Amino acid sequence: MVEQRRFFSGLKCRECGRPYPGKALYVCEYCFGPLEVEYDYALIGDSLSREKIEARRKSMWRYRELLPVAGDISVGADVGFTPLVRAKRLAAEWGVREVWLKNDSVNFPTLSFKDRVVSVAVNRARELGFKVISCASTGNLANSVAAQSASAGMQSFVFIPHDLEDGKILCSSIYGTKVVGIRGTYDQVNRLCAEIAGRYGWGFVNINLRPYYAEGSKSMGFEIAEQLGWRIPDHVVVPMAGGSLITKVDKAFDEFAKLGLVPHKTAKIHGAQAQNCAPIVNAFRAGSDVVRPIAEPNTIVKSLAIGNPADAHYALQTISGSGGSGVAASDAETIAGIELLARTEGVFAETAGGVVVAAAIKLLASGQVKPDESLVLCITGNGLKTKEALHGRHELKTTIKPSLAEFESLIETESPTKEWK
């Protein structure tokens, strides 16, 4: 599709505005500000309409004018357009009118929102001529890099903290990628990868491909707005690790409003972190724009255990600018959140999803979300990948012989009121 090339022109420094070509560049040479993709919104506005989007295939690529890939989509064409579930039983439990789950725990192919960013990054990496794809990851990103590189027939290397959950390691290695465990924190993995990226000519999705990769997260916001019937909700709760997703959900709503696809109405965007690794929430609470990194994150929420979030500054701007809030959840609250979501809605989220549910409970308790408002929870990953967090809580407790008599005696013991009969 030659037409697409015209919709984005190149990159621009988010801090000082200097222009850069649309290559594998990620920081401004002058002020080290992050580079962002520049779009021609006038042209996109002429081309894109609700009808045109609705007629397209149900994937994130139905918004392709707003995603930075120039040619045809050669990998990840089915990523995205995950269910937006009306959570009636959870809403009833909380006494709220309208709760929705944006359920990326069933995203394709690797069951997390990272499939969105990697799909953009791998397509763009191919266009830029890379042969090897790589990343630093807390797990989900590595899974998606491994799977989508495999389906693209490209070689990949993924770098992770060595002590990740078994599911996160298996879900990378199964795809034939080279998994390198680093004996250190995620931030140390990241630092090493910055040095590797400077020496090897690889496409690191979260480093030299970052401007393209990060844009993929917008599709979560686009889908929320479209699936709500082309409207922006009153509140969205987004988990924060590096802090990029929250800024891109906000950007997605802004772009849809700018293009006239939704009525101009702002959502309050709330960021959620794990209590023992909450540098962005800490800064929000202190009313400061200086983010103090966390040297040794200690939480069961490993996917959010980033002590030095690159986009913290912009995440804070998004929260404050939208009238949202920063909320932290303890490990116990996170587990309770995972179990509540499963019990009420049949959705098994990973630990980051438990953090989001716990954060929503706090926002309701403090009155920041009112019972008559609409609330969307971003569920970004799947519980099967973080089973360790629930260790010992859901083991098989009841076994019997294959005998009706044993079953009858069991049901008498467990449920003497005969409610089962």
User: Nearer to other proteins by C-beta: 90 or 146?
Assistant: 146
What is the CB-side half-sphere exposure of residue 63 using CA atoms within 13 A? Answer: 28
User: Nearer to other proteins by C-beta: 30 or 407?
Assistant: 30
Given the rule CB under 8 A, which of 74-82, 168-176, 182-190, 395-403 is the region that contacts other proteins?
182-190
275 binds other proteins (CB under 8 A): no
Which amino acid is it at 228?
A: L
Q: Which of 17, 19, 29, 176 binds other proteins (CB under 8 A)?
A: 29
Q: Which of 1, 5, 19, 32 binds other proteins (CB under 8 A)?
A: 32
At its nearest, how many Å lie between other proteins and the CB of residue 178?
18
- Show contacts with other proteins in window 313-352 (CB under 8 A): 313
Total number of residues binding other proteins (CB under 8 A)? 45
At its nearest, how many Å lie between other proteins and the CB of residue 104?
13
310 binds other proteins (CB under 8 A): yes
91 binds other proteins (CB under 8 A): no
- CA–CA distances in Å: residue 351 to residues 219, 245, 269, 341, 355: 22, 17, 20, 11, 6
123 binds other proteins (CB under 8 A): no
Given the rule CB under 8 A, which of 118-126, 301-309, 341-349, 388-396 is the region that contacts other proteins?
301-309
177 binds other proteins (CB under 8 A): no
At its nearest, how many Å lie between other proteins and the CB of residue 231?
28
33 binds other proteins (CB under 8 A): yes
247 binds other proteins (CB under 8 A): no
Q: Which of 12, 102, 114, 362 binds other proteins (CB under 8 A)?
A: 114
User: Nearer to other proteins by C-beta: 48 or 164?
Assistant: 164
User: Nearer to other proteins by C-beta: 200 or 407?
Assistant: 200
241 binds other proteins (CB under 8 A): yes
- Show contacts with other proteins in window 183-222 (CB under 8 A): 186-188, 190-191, 193-195, 198-199, 206-207, 210, 213-214
At its nearest, how many Å lie between other proteins and the CB of residue 186?
7
Given the rule CB under 8 A, which of 169-177, 303-311, 398-406, 412-420 is the region that contacts other proteins?
303-311
Per-residue string for binding with other proteins, 39-78, x by CB under 8 A? ----------------------------------------
Q: Which residues pair with 158 in a beta bridge?
A: 135, 179
HEC profile of the chain: CHHHHHHEEEEEECCCCCEECCCCCCECCCCCCEEEEEECHHHHHHHCCHHHHHCCCCCHHHHHHHCCCCCCCCCCCCCCCCCEEECHHHHHHHCCCEEEEEEHHHCCCCCECHHHHHHHHHHHHHHCCCCEEEEECCCHHHHHHHHHHHHHCCEEEEEEECCCCHHHHHHHHCCCCEEEEECCCHHHHHHHHHHHHHHCCCEECCCCCHHHHHHCCHHHHHHHHHHCCCCCCCEEEEECCCCHHHHHHHHHHHHHHHCCCCCCCCCEEEEEEECCECHHHHHHHHCCCCCCCCCCCCCCCHHHCCCCCCCHHHHHHHHHHHCCCEEEECHHHHHHHHHHHHHHHCCCECHHHHHHHHHHHHHHHCCCCCCCCEEEEEECEEHHHHHHHHCCCCCCCCCCCCCHHHHHHHHHHHCCCCCCC
Residues at the interface with other proteins (CB under 8 A): 15, 26-34, 114, 135-138, 140-141, 186-188, 190-191, 193-195, 198-199, 206-207, 210, 213-214, 241-242, 244, 292-293, 295, 303-304, 306, 308, 310-311, 313
